Amino acid sequence: MGGLALLALAACGDGKLPAITAADVNGDAIINADKRPEVWLSHGRTYSEQRYSPLKQINTGNVNEIGIAWTTTLDTNRGMEATPIVVDGVMYVTSAWSVVYAYDAKTGERLWKFDPKVDKARGVSACCDVVNRGVAIWEGMIYVGTIDGRLIALDASRTEGIKEVNAEKVKEPVWQEITVDQSKPYTITGAPRVIKGKVLIGNGGAEFGVRGYISAYDAKTGKMAWRFFTTPNPTKVADNAASDAVFKEKANASWGDTGEWTETGGGGTAWDAMAYDPELDILYVGIGNGTPWNRERRDPSGGDNLFLSSILALKPETGEYVWHYQTTPGESWDYTATQHIILADIKIGDKVRKVAMQAPKNGFFYVLDRETGELISADKYQDNVNWATSVDLATGRPVEAPGVRYLESPFQAIPGPLGSHNWHPMSFSPDTGLVYIPAQTIPQIYADQADFAYRPGFWNTGIEFAGAPGPTPTLNERLAGRAALKGQLVAWDPVAKKARWTVDYPTPWNGGVLSTGGGLVFQGGLDGKFRAYDAAAGGAPLWEMDAQYPVMSGPISYEIDGEQYITVTAGWGTALPVTGGGNAIPKIGSPELGRVLVFKIGGTVALEPYEVFQVDPVPATEDFGSAAQLDHGRVLFDRNCMVCHGPLVVSSGAIQDLRWAQAPGTKEEFADVVLNGKYASAGMASFASVLTPDDAESLRAYIINRAHEDAAALAAQTPPQ
């Protein structure tokens, strides 16, 4: 017998398959990922998206011996949400603005970089920062979606398709396709998936006014194979798309013929979750919220508005509809079903069921039969959820609380639009049978925006965020408000339908989860810590380290030369740190460049010391403005600026804090930025289409007034950190 054959047999002796290269990654490789636990080939490691690594060199007995093997900074200080892919000793990871990096996974050497050079003015169309959740790999190609709606293919090789630019190795694209109408505020933040030679990608933008869909492209050529729209054509006319038949049969009737959806397209973007069952040959896709959120403004007919807030089951080769389940009929709160979907086979009673599991924003944990879409169970995974009392298992519909649709008066709902669980990936361990959910409490007062009018290209929620006029909350009141925001790691038993254990955090918006064969659960936090827990028992962390920046992405594990590694990305930005600003989160460090952190047993790399982020609280100019002008500026700020610059003009630091910026200094300077787009190339687009010069001056007055208020308060007391 030849030497190569003997080596192959030796490699397979423990049930493992021989090592593969990037060119070998295909459906069989991903389906058999458990036989190659040393690599991470797909977004959730497997098509089932369980985010469980069988590797167990690092375990409950020695996890306290791990340290940093290598770390590197990325070329942006914006949000980090990426899950890396690792194969053949190379790590592929993305950063904000859809930039792709390739590193030697053992040493951290940067092999190449690809920057799609997105026009930074597109940043205004990103609801929740200019993030990217990762790449896909297939037969030697890397695929990435960009914030401006392109799908791009790159050669995965260490050496091919590279040119030297300013002493940096830069990758050239193999092909790229525009997947959206770029005149509309579409974005792509999610990671592609590849199934049967087709690259699957959705999009975002529902807050702004777009019609959602998911598309499939040929992995070799980039030619579109099919498209499935997630909301009907407002004219109810067929699109010549995979969705035509089911719209005619089911979805068209769930929408009226009037309302803002006829202009906006209805929303329903597919911006994150996908999973695939190769045995059933079914693709599962999570669908998002409506445009506007407020159904009364979107579609006053009161219909369910399919397929908003639904899990769609489709055939991956054709896009043919199989079934759907709608978690929140007629959604009116931004309760998306785009959150992580996990497939597993679990024993319920005396029968093993093939299930799809999801903990969407609305606070209920759903277990569905993934072949038929039958609802098996739906239970609150956060006890304080108040928008609905339960889900009726006979109808599959939530039992809504009185007044929750805020038609007559405001309603304080738990959860708010950031959800009881957001994009942060959860994990399922087949060893414990538990699903580990990064849960949270972030309430929101919903009130109907009586004067709502659709504004193309800007936020269109139909919710009045500004509230009634009144004094600005004090620093202590804001600190008390921050204390109401909580986080929790929930170890959920999908059979018993309850939490087996929980870990409480003083902050929401904590990181994605990895479970391992070593009996561990890894999770990062908004507080900058990265921790490991006992997967069976929970309790105090078995290990933790200070990553210096929030750790929100999904960790992974891989193995090279007999050593197991744990990897995660860290950085400022993403939705809560941007939209919630410094009122919602503590400032834990300077918002410098994001980083990749890689750990192993015996790692000895130390991070450089850092100083807590500080500002010089000096207003740019004298306070001015009448009470009416200041209140008008407040309303304009909350409707246009808050989502990037923070409530009450208090930024987290990821984006400039306007209280202490020089731009509001003069009327002319401010108008040059806000109306003329002076800094559009840096991401601050012009708002001239929705703001008049008088509006801009009211905004300037409000921003400067807020600066003076907080400067006085900061001089009188220590601010919350």
Q: Would you tell me which CATH number, out of the four given (1.10.260.40, 3.30.70.1400, 3.20.20.150, 2.140.10.10), belongs to the domain 52-468+478-601?
A: 2.140.10.10
Q: Who's near 506: CB < 8 A, 6+ residues apart?
A: 483, 486, 487, 527
Q: How far apart (Å, rounded) are the C-alpha atoms in residues 699 and 693?
A: 10
Position 641 scores a pLDDT of: 85
pLDDT tens, residue by residue, 487-535: 999 999 999 999 999 999 999 999 999 999 999 999 999 999 999 999 9
Q: Which residues contact 137 (CB under 8 A, 6 or more apart)?
A: 22, 25, 41, 42, 85, 87, 92, 143, 156, 194
The phi-psi region of residue 644 (left if phi > 0; otherwise alpha if psi is between -120 and 50; otherwise beta) is alpha
The pLDDT tens digits of the residues spanning 23-71 come to 999 999 999 999 999 999 999 999 999 999 999 999 999 999 999 999 9
Enumerate the CATH 1.10.760.10 domain ranges in the chain, comma separated. Answer: 627-716
- Is a pLDDT exceeding 70 seen at residue 89? yes
Above pLDDT 90, what percent of the chain? 72
Nearest to 31 by CA among 280, 231, 394: 280
Average pLDDT of span 116-132: 88
pLDDT of residue 329: 99
In this structure, of 90-99, 241-250, 485-494, 632-641, the range with the lowest mean pLDDT score is: 632-641
Given this model, what pLDDT does residue 397 score?
98
612 contacts 587 by C-beta, under 8 angstroms: yes
- Write the secondary structure of 596-632 as one string of H (helix), E (strand) and C (coil): EEEEEECCCECCCCCCCCCCCCCCCCCCCCCHHHHHH
b (16+ CB within 10 A) / e for 124-148? bbbbbbbbbbbbbbbbbbbbbbbbb
Task: Quote the CA–CA distance of 95 and 79 in Å, as a whole number.
Answer: 8
Helices (H) and strands (E) in the chain, counts: 12, 39
| Spatial distance between the Cα atoms of 293 and 704, rounded to a whole number of angstroms | 31
Determine what percent of the chain is predicted with pLDDT higher than 70: 93
Tokens in use for 529? 């810590």
Q: Which residue has the higher pLDDT, 661 or 632?
A: 632
State how beta strands 595-601 and 538-546 pair. Answer: unpaired
More confident residue, 638 or 297: 297
pLDDT at 5: 36
At residue 65, the 3 state secondary structure works out as helix
In 3D, which of 235, 421, 247, 444 has the Cα closest to residue 339? 421
Per the structure block, which two tokens stand in for 334? Answer: 């931004």
Q: Please tell me the predicted confidence (pLDDT) of residue 587.
A: 54
Please list the active-site residues: 334
Residues 627-716, CATH architecture: Orthogonal Bundle (1.10)
User: Which H or E element spans position 364?
Assistant: strand 364-369
CA proximity to 284, closest of 369, 197, 380, 363? 369
By three-state DSSP, how is residue 389 classified? strand
User: Closest Cα partner for 500 from 485, 521, 479, 483?
Assistant: 521
- Residue 320: what pLDDT? 99
Q: CA dihedral in degrees (58, 62, 64, 69; nearest 10)?
A: -40
Per-residue model confidence (pLDDT) at position 615: 67
**Does the pLDDT at position 581 exceed 70?**
no
pLDDT digits (tens, 9 = 90+) for 302-353: 999 999 999 999 999 999 999 999 999 999 999 999 999 999 999 999 999 9
**Structure token digits, residue 546:** 């200070």
| Pair 171, 112: CB distance under 8 Å | yes
Average the pLDDT over 172-193 and give the result.
97
What's the average model confidence in pLDDT over 359-365? 99
CB atoms inside a 10 Å sphere around CB 537: 13
Angle at 664 between CA 661 and CA 670, to 5 degrees: 125
Q: Model confidence at 274, in pLDDT bands (50, 70, 90)?
A: very high
Determine the distance from the C-alpha atom of residue 153 to the mean position of all C-alpha atoms in its chain, rounded to a whole number. Answer: 22
Q: 397-411: per-residue pLDDT in tens? A: 999 999 999 999 999
Q: What is the DSSP letter of 697?
A: H
Q: Does residue 63 contact residue 532 with C-beta atoms inside 8 Å? A: yes
DSSP 517-570: TTSEEEEE-TTSEEEEEETTTEEEEEEEEE-SS---S--EEEEETTEEEEEEEE
pLDDT of 153 higher than 80: yes
Whether residue 572 is predicted with pLDDT greater than 90 in this model: the reply is no
Of 405, 375, 412, the closest CA to residue 393 belongs to 375
The pLDDT value recorded for residue 467 is: 62
Check pLDDT > 50 for residue 13. Answer: no
Tokens 């008066």 belong to which residue?
Answer: 409
Mean of per-residue pLDDT scores for the chain: 91
Per-residue pLDDT tens for 585-637?
A: 555 555 567 899 999 999 999 998 876 666 677 887 888 899 999 889 898 88
pLDDT for res 520? 99
Residues 423-461: pLDDT tens digits?
Answer: 999 999 999 999 999 999 999 999 999 889 998 888 899
CATH 2.140.10.10 domain locations along the chain: 52-468+478-601
pTM of the model as a whole: 0.93
The stretch 89-108 carries a mean pLDDT of 97
pLDDT confidence tier of residue 6, bands split at 50, 70 and 90: very low
pLDDT of amino acid 12: 44
Q: Which two tokens stand for residue 400?
A: 């809504």
pLDDT of residue 1 exceeding 50: no
* pLDDT value at residue 97: 94
471 Cβ partners below 8 Å, 6+ apart?
Answer: none
Cα atoms in the 13 Å half-sphere on the side-chain side of 567: 33
